[in-house]
Amino acid sequence: MAPPAAALLMNIARQVLTCSKFAYHSANVHCRRGFCTSQHIMTSRHTHAKRIDGLDKNVWVAFTSLAADPSVVNLGQGFPDIPPPSYVKEALARAASEDRMNQYTRGFGHPPLVKALSQVYGKVYGRHIDPLKEILITVGGYGSLFSTMQGLVEEGDEVIIIEPFFDCYVPMVRMAGAKPVLISLRLKSGKKTPTSADWFLDPEELSSKFTSKTKAIILNTPNNPIGKVFSRDELQMIADLCIKHDTLCFSDEVYEWLIYRGHQHIKIATLPGMWDRTITISSAGKTFSVTGWKLGWSIGPQHLIKHLQTVMQNTMYTCPTPLQEAVAHGLLHNVDLMGQPECYFSSLAEELEGKRDRMAAILQEAGMTPVIPEGGYFMLVDVTSLDQDLSHIVEDESYDYKFVKWMIKEKKLAAIPVTAFVGEESKKHFEKYIRLCFIKQDSTLDAAETILKNWRKI
């Protein structure tokens, strides 16, 4: 017989073992029933941050996957399938072969690139632009927009956004803690073949959107998706309101070089009183047809740019050195040619004008109504006259979402629904529009033409 103390210890050990077995069995039962208690506690506590609440849906994620089938002719997402200039690609190859170019460069912008941008835009603005203090290089135009919102927009501010807008504007404003205030472009009625110039801002409605809480207005010219190039009078109307209400202007001008004959791109920052309150955004992707390089830039006064630099140094820090070196070379290749036919900035627009006109003719022949853009490489298309019955599609979505999904499946042609670019209240005005991209090779446009010519037969 064990001593009393030993017996006591053995009894305690048996109880501990029994409790352990019971606990193990209970845990297994809980896990087999579909969850573990500790996991359940973790998932209930660790959810998304409030600043991204409701921002999980994205038109590009949804429709890029639908258009990934090689049999689909993709006129949806805005990427060129025409080649970039050879000298830009060759400059990248040379840069990558130099060891020093494969290391970090200056965080706010590779010195050769910001100096080249200063030369190009010095001509455009008609003023000296300090390459180190008034230019910031970012990860694409997206990076410029993000740095601008995070650096200059405060929680509780209001930011005016013109509809239709590029879809990231609203999420970026909301992530900054601000309130998007929407105002829609209106279409003049009565034209058989409308152009982007027929869409206008109502002056009184625009004026009513400015309040004591308004921090900024986002301008996009040429506009994506409509292709509208804002006229000097329209820009002056916006500038006057900005000055009156001491409001900033964030001008997204990534399509600035793609302006068609009879139209002129004017930078709002060049209007009296606007340089000191404007951040202008552009990108290499749209300038040289290299969207995969993801290089953008912000230009503005030092007292604003320095806040964007603060965001950059604490987020992305810097951009790829070889890419910046190659873009600098491309800019310098064209700076002395500006205003001449050989300049890539103008020659690309001439090439695209023919593609634009061809696309419009094909769409009209198919019974659709294109909105002829003044700039950019997108075309808004009214599909109302097709009277396509989609009542069999049960998803709770706008008509254009259903139409594009149906078109991809049944016609093998991809587009983007335009209600992705407007707020809830404006969807009823835009749900019969789709957006097509025409910066494509002739073979791609040939394939689209075949589909559209046989629209009723397929």
Task: Mention every residue, 6+ apart, whose C-beta is less than 8 A from residue 355.
Answer: 438, 439, 440, 445
* Per-residue pLDDT reduced to its tens digit, 341-358: 999 999 999 999 999 999
Residues 426 and 185 sit within 8 Å (Cβ to Cβ): no
Instruction: Report which DSSP code applies to 75.
Output: -
Residue 69 confidence (pLDDT):
85
Q: pLDDT at position 40, please?
A: 53
pLDDT of residue 31: 44
Distance CA 334, CA 87 (A): 11
pLDDT for the residue numbered 66: 77
**What does the H/E/C string look like for 228-286?**
CCCCHHHHHHHHHHHHHCCCEEEEECCCCCCECCCCCCCCHHHCCCCHHHEEEEEEHHH
Token pair for 17: 């073992």
Output the pLDDT for position 23.
43
C-alpha separations of 266 from 144, 224, 284, 314 in Å: 20, 16, 19, 33
pLDDT recorded at residue 145: 98
Distance between alpha carbon 246 and the CA centroid of its chain, in Å? 27
Q: Residue 335 is which amino acid? A: V
User: DSSP labels for 395-414?
Assistant: SS--HHHHHHHHHHHHH-EE
Q: Give the position of tokens 């010195």.
A: 111
DSSP state of 107: T
**Distance between CA 289 and CA 59 in Å, rounded?**
22
Strand ordering across the sheet containing 248-252: 135-138, 296-299, 278-283, 248-252, 214-220, 158-163, 179-184
| Residue 364, CA distances (Å) to 188, 358, 402, 457 in order | 19, 10, 22, 17
Q: Which of 327, 340, 250, 255 is nearest to 295 (CA)?
A: 327
Rg (CA), the chain: 27
Structure tokens given for 396: 């709770």
Phi, psi torsion values for 109, nearest 5 degrees:
145, 130
With CA atoms as reference, report the closest residue to 293 among 88, 440, 110: 88
Q: What is the mean pLDDT of the chain?
A: 90
Going by C-alpha positions, the residue among 233, 166, 165, 170 that lies closest to residue 197 is 233
pLDDT of residue 45: 80
Give me 344's structure tokens: 């890539």
Q: Are 370 and 381 in contact (CB under 8 A)?
A: yes
Pairing of the two strands 433-437 and 378-382: antiparallel
Q: From residue 42, give the alpha-carbon distance in Å to each of 27, 46, 47, 151, 335.
A: 16, 6, 9, 33, 57
Q: Are the C-beta atoms of 239 and 201 separated by less than 8 Å? A: no
Please list the residues that pair with 433 across neighbouring strands: 382
Alpha carbon distances (Å) from 58 to 54, 78, 179, 394, 413: 10, 15, 19, 20, 20
Q: What parts of the chain have a pLDDT lower than 50?
A: 1-10, 12-13, 16-38, 41
